Structure formats: structure tokens, C-alpha cells
Structure 1
Amino acid sequence: MEIYQYTNKGQRKENQDYTVYKVLPSGDSIFIVADGMGGYSYGDVASHVVGDSIASFVEANIDKYEPQTLLENAIKGANEALMQKRLLLNVRKMGTVVSVAMIKGGELYVTWLGDSRVYLFNGDDMVFKTEDHSLLNEIKTKRPLSASTIERYAGVVTKCIMGDDDLGEIPVKVIPITKGETIVLCTDGFHKEMDIQWALNYNTALKETLDAKSNYASDNYSFIKVAI
């Protein structure tokens, strides 16, 4: 298994994205990409708290729960950790979206809240992609999206972790995986402004290309690539 991480703040003043992963002695592994919500306080802190909490919970409890329950409890624990941090900092609102991929027993387990994504590729063919928890996705199930609607609600998410009592349903998907496939987790700054193929085929030359994109990227952009 080969693992690559990339993050860039783009034209933003600070980087509120966070990527973290752990490969456990058992061979199981957990990968997290979190994107702090810039409209609230301490977005960078929120993404780090949530990412580290999920990684640590999975590492400590990998054999204590069924995989789906493990991820659900990891998300709940991260929400509690963010609540404690929010109270400590004495701020009303902190938040982050998050995408999580766990490899265990030859299967891929995915959970996410918001518009950071998880992709699975077999070669160049996309096998799986998470659907964004966004207001635009909800609206388009009811009516066509107008240009004004897209402009007005772009970036508005309907699920996230905010350290409060209302997490709602935590989705968990289970996908069979085989050797040779590739997992990509990325923030919306990447999948909206960059070519997903740059993450899929990431190498030293593409790093230079991605670095150069920071001159005009309107958002932080980050990913983790896992070549199985």
C-alpha cells in the first residue's frame, strides 16, 4: 500500500484543511480529510480536533466494535471532543466537514459529513464516490438548479460536525476492494477547482503543478491518495 498526502492553503490566509492517517499493526488503516468551516471560529482547530479524535478512536478500538459501529462511534466521539474544545475556547460555533475511509478485512468502510469526498478508482474508472451533503444537492432533487440558486447556495452544507447535540444520521458505506485499486479523499477546494486525476496519478511532477495552482486557487485544497 502506498500513501500520499497533499495540502495547500491556496489564496486563503490560513489552511483550515487537515489530513491524517494511521496504519495499524494489524494491517487495518484509517484515513481522514477534514475541512474546517471558515464562517465559524477556529476552523483550523476544528479540523485538527476532529481528525485526530477519529484517528485515535479507531486506533484504540479497532477490534472492539463492528466496523460500521466503530466509525459511527468515532464520529460521535469527535463531535464530543469538538464540543469540549468549543466550550474551552468560549465560542458559540465551531465546525468542520469530514470524510473518512477505513480499510479492514479486505473491505472499504466510508463515512462522511459535508462536501469533502471519498472516491474509489479501478484504474481510471471511478467505482464509488460519496454524494455531498449540500443544500444544492437537496434542492436539485426537487427542481432544476438556476444560476442564481447555484451562486446563492454554493458551499452550503447540510451535515457537518459542530460539537453540538444534533449530528443527525451518520452514513456508512461498505465497498469491496481489490489490490490495484486507489482511494482518494479530498476537500471541496480540491474537487471543485482541481482535476481529480491529479490526485489519482500524483507524483513529483504533479506536485509542482499543484503547487503552482496556489496562485489562483480560491480555497484550501487537500487530498490523501491510497494505492492499494
Structure 2
Amino acid sequence: MPVPLKIYSLNELGNRKNNEDSIHPPAGEALLGNSLFLVCDGVGGNSKGEVASELACRHFNTYFNQNLSSEDLLNDDFINAGREWVIKHFDEYIAQHEGAEDMSTTLTLAYLKKKSIFVAWCGDSRIYLIRDGEIVFQSQDHSLVNELVKRGNITPEEALTHPHRNVITRSLQAKRPYSEIQTDEIFDIRDNDYLLLCSDGLLEKVTPTVLKVLLTQSDTGDLTEQFQEYCYQKTRDNYSMYLIKLINLNNEPIIIGETNKITISKSKLKLKSLWIGLIILSIVLIGVLAAYFLGFFNK
């Protein structure tokens, strides 16, 4: 059972006039008992990107709370229905605000299930699973440069500085046809893995090499501050993230909330009870034997 051990978050302006990124839970409000995390980046150049990202975070959360009665329901159909729910609220906002019809946002979503992590994304915000500094899962950007890389037209290194690197091919938007939200499920989760959801602004300065440095130091300290050191006043774009250090409890029960204490597992309780029983039995046997031998010598 993957659960958060530590949670780090950023939702920063960068060198922009307004912050079009949104995260859920809102910055400073995440608890170790949370299962749903989102990072969205309102599309620059389109009107009301900051509104689109905020509505996406808020209404995906509402949709999950109202409809996910069992994690077995979480699949592509559930996500598509969630998209319809969010777009309905986009339409309501657009009907009341002139010039908002082009608003859109990227999406990254992660839900911690009992035996896996369900992830969904649309656009060039990214999801990573990082183990010992190495990336073991990475979402594929829905962007022009990524398409060029896959076709062999440019190299991954050339994509980093390509003049059209910010052009995306999918986003969550009110206009039809709707972009497809891509999904995946991560089953190989180990203690001390890191799950990272981030907007592309963070990736301007936090490269895979930087990730390895930050996440493999013997004393990582406050990772929020360390990520800030790489990004503050250095990025062109807003930069946001959820970075979650995980522990896999293998379905052992936990107490969730602000205290985040882990209970003793049932297997450990059974083992403890067995030892207590053996000790009591041993004491009884010793008493019986002592009584027998005392009676024998007194004859």
C-alpha cells in the first residue's frame, strides 16, 4: 500500500506577471493521508489560464470525492467522465465571462491506490517515479517537440532548446473535440521512492541530473527549499510541483491524518500474542515440574 511518508509542494510565480499554475491539495494543506494529487498549468497565450487550472484542480477533486466509492472504479472511463464534469464547469464560467472561451490547462493527476498508483496526464506537465535518483517512470509529453523526437527529427537534447518547445498538442479545454487524457498505472513501488508531479516551469532548471543530486543526498533536509534554490528568479515560467516520498506498507493498516502514525500490523500483533502465549505456557510447565519434583523428594 503506497502512502506518503513526506510531502513537498511548490506553486510559484516565476518570472511571470501572474501565476497560471494550480495544485491540489492547495499549497500547505496536504496531509499524509491524502490519496489524490494534481498539478495543472494554465495554457499561456489563452485567456484565463489561471482560471482553467484552478477549476480543473477543484472540480476533479470534487468529482473523485463524490463518485469514487471504490478504487476499482478508477479507469479510463472514470477519468473521461471526470473530464466531462470539469468541462461542464468550464462552460458555466465561460457563459458568464466574455473572452474566456479559449481557456485551457494541462493536467497531471495521481491517485494512491492500495497496490498501485493510478496516473493521468494531458499536455506537457509531467509525472515521474524516481528510485535512488533514477527515473523508473516518466509520462510522455503531449508536445510538438516530443512528437519530433519520437519521429527522429530532433534529439532529446535539441528538444530542450527548440524554439517551439512550449507548443503542446493536448490540453484540457472547453472547445471540442476534447483532447484525450492519457492514463497509466504504476505497480512497482518501493520504500523511499519519490513521486513527482510538476509543471514544465520546474523542469527549466530541475533536470534529471539535478533530481538525482537532490534526491540521493545523505541528508536531504528541506527539499522544498532546495528545489526553490534551483528555480527562484531563474525560470521564465511559473513552477509548481508535488513531490511525495513514499513508503509501501503492503496493505498493513495505517492511521491517517495530521499525526500520520503507523499502527502495528496484524501480522506483528499475531506474532506478539504468540510469544506471550509461549511465555505463559513455559511458566506453567515450570511450575508443574517444580511441584512434581518437590513432591517426589519429600516422599
TM class by shorter-chain length? 0.7 to 0.9
Note the residue ranges of structure 2 that are not aligned, 5 or more in a row: 247-299
Spell out structure 1 runs of 4+ moving beyond 6 A.
22-25
After superposition, where does 1:1-228 map in structure 2 within 5 Å? 1=4, 2-21=6-25, 29-63=35-69, 66-68=73-75, 69-91=77-99, 92-145=101-154, 151-176=162-187, 177-195=189-207, 197=211, 200=215, 203-204=221-222, 207=225, 210=228, 213-228=231-246
Q: Name the SS for the 2:178 alignment partner.
A: coil
Give, in whole Å, the separation in 2 of the partners of 1:212 and 1:143: 31
Which is further off, 138-147 or 123-132? 138-147
Equivalent AA in structure 2 for residue 186 of structure 1 = C
Equivalent AA in structure 2 for residue 33 of structure 1 = V
Equivalent AA in structure 2 for residue 82 of structure 1 = F
Q: Name the SS for the 2:117 alignment partner.
A: strand
Equivalent pair of 2:20/2:42 in contact (CA under 8 Å): yes
Equivalent AA in structure 2 for residue 77 of structure 1 = W
1:91-146 Cα deviation digits (max 9, x unpaired): 23101111111111221111100000110122222110001000111223334228
Which is further off, 161-170 or 198-207? 198-207
- Same amino acid, percent of matched pairs: 25
Q: State the Cα RMSD in Å.
A: 2.8
Change (3 A) 1:84 1:199: farther
Give, in whole Å, the separation in 1 of the partners of 2:67 and 2:241: 25
How many matched pairs?
Answer: 227
Q: Which has the larger radius of gyration?
A: 2
Give, in whole Å, the separation in 1 of the partners of 2:14 and 2:232: 4
Equivalent pair of 2:107/2:123 in contact (CA under 8 Å): yes
Equivalent AA in structure 2 for residue 74 of structure 1 = G
Larger relative strand fraction: 1
Offset at 1:24?
9.6
State TM-score, norm by structure 2: 0.68
Note the residue ranges of structure 1 that are not aligned, 5 or more in a row: none
Q: Name the SS for the 2:204 alignment partner.
A: helix
1:21-54 Cα deviation digits (max 9, x unpaired): 39899x6711000001120111111110011111
